[in-house]
Chain A
């Protein structure tokens, strides 16, 4: 996949306009200007970036690690990662906020998995997570949403879908580990994650996702659990 991948192909050609604009928000434009200065090695720009997103970063890290000291380490590593890799941020591949959030999440998952010695750790300098390397079809998805819409999206999940997604996102568990933890077949866990994310997407953008061959993914409650 490239930065020029035809993102519109993921949407119905005749579908309704997205509820979330694809154009960068003013806040994101300001973020990108700050990040450009970070990439140029300006420490005061890093301070500005930290002040904008310290609460978001620490809140996520604390929620994931449940350990204040470890959460501080995660936030520190994340902002140093942003400091060192700011020049690798690519315009049009998601907002700066989303990019930073992905770094924090990646670092927190790494920290959580280090506490579980049986889990194989990702490479120390592994490529950044999906949101860093893949085009974001709605760049300011998180910046442009109000809390009510976010809650609506999460309300679209069934209990078992929410459990699987939260164990993965906040708990740092792999889908195999979720299967063991919940005593559920791996195929069922995969389906719950897939259907849950699709259900959220329908609330957020009001569209079904259309695969490359033109067929729509089935609705969340229309697909049997199980599979591979």
Chain B
């Protein structure tokens, strides 16, 4: 493509109105041409103004949670992919983990080898301020949940929990899903994340919960405005404080949806036993 052709196509290029081949050819020319081609910038500078007259519309509140959940999943993936394969002696967390295990893929204090490693290090130290934000629950599950892997001896259970965290975060990132962050006002170290898919299939993960004993379970409830709580399903929590529930089916909810967890004597409760252990509201 010649410089004259670039000048001819500059307005359409700035507007994004070239087909894929032309667009690629212009970019390749601009990347290598010694001429400045200021005309492209002159046109490109005008283009954002075209958007200025669009009628403003607020996005659905649930979109925010989906985006943050997807970013959290992305962060977790990057952390997993970029962490060193083996623990270093200077690393107090991974040094305690079984060599070559899944736990060794998680590090909190290893020297940052890359931008991603730096990110992983930062995110492994959520501040108390962050914990009081709604985001903290996602954060805590992704980071502290994974961190727990290195402290637990039951690797099978650890990996199962991690898989459920991944599954919930993946569903949370899908269009049409509703994400609810579960928190306990009295215990900022416990957290959970529930997600209701477009097909209303519901799953959740929790960590930092008091372990269940005997036949006791945690029951998940969906609460719609002016409606009785609907039991969705129950789950147990192991000695490591983690638990998960899958296969629930949430009712259709008009208005704001609240999800609450209660501690019950056994599965099959039809009315919640107070107090509510943990709860959150969509959006």
Contact = CB atoms under 8 A, between A and B. Distances in A.
B263 interface: no
Given A1-B40, A76-B67, A204-B49, A43 B72 contact: yes
Contacts of B57: 55, 58-59, 62
Contact-size category for A: 35 or more
Interface in A108-146: 109, 119-123, 126-127, 129-131, 133-138, 141-142, 145
Given A9-B38, A76-B70, A137-B45, A150 B52 contact: yes
Contact of B46 (A1, A42, A106, A200): A200
B190 to A, nearest CB: 19
Contacts of B10: 194
A141 B48 contact: yes
B41 A129 contact: no
A173 B122 CA distance: 43
A40 to B, nearest CB: 6
B123 A41 contact: yes
Contact of B135 (A44, A69, A131): A44
Given A41-B122, A76-B63, A150-B53, A5 B41 contact: yes
A63 B55 contact: yes
Nearest to A38: B71
Given A190-B8, A193-B17, A142 B48 contact: yes
A148 B4 CA distance: 36
A7 B38 contact: yes
Contacts, number: 236
Given A43-B139, A72-B63, A134-B40, A201 B46 contact: yes
Given A59-B56, A169-B50, A178-B17, A46 B45 contact: no
Given A55-B59, A87-B115, A137-B45, A50 B67 contact: yes
A91 B258 CA distance: 43
Contacts of B138: 43
B224 interface: no
B68 interface: yes
B102 interface: no
A75 interface: yes
A151 B46 contact: no
B255 interface: no
A101 interface: yes
Interface stretch (B19-27, B179-187, B210-218, B232-240): B19-27
A101 B51 contact: yes
Contacts of A42: 122-123
B70 A80 contact: yes
A196 B23 CA distance: 20
B75 A43 contact: yes
Contacts of B38: 5-7, 9-10, 211-212
11 contacts: A9-B36, A41-B78, A58-B58, A72-B66, A73-B175, A109-B16, A130-B47, A169-B17, A174-B18, A190-B8, A193-B12
Interface of A: 1, 5-7, 9-10, 40-44, 46-47, 50-51, 54-60, 62-63, 68-69, 71-73, 75-76, 79-80, 83-84, 87, 97-98, 101-102, 105-106, 109, 119-123, 126-127, 129-131, 133-138, 141-142, 145, 147, 150-151, 153-154, 165-166, 168-170, 172-176, 178, 190, 193-194, 197, 200-201, 204, 209, 211-212, 228
Question: Shortest 9 CB-CB distances between A and B: which pairs?
Answer: A41-B119, A150-B52, A58-B59, A168-B17, A130-B44, A194-B11, A142-B48, A10-B38, A193-B11
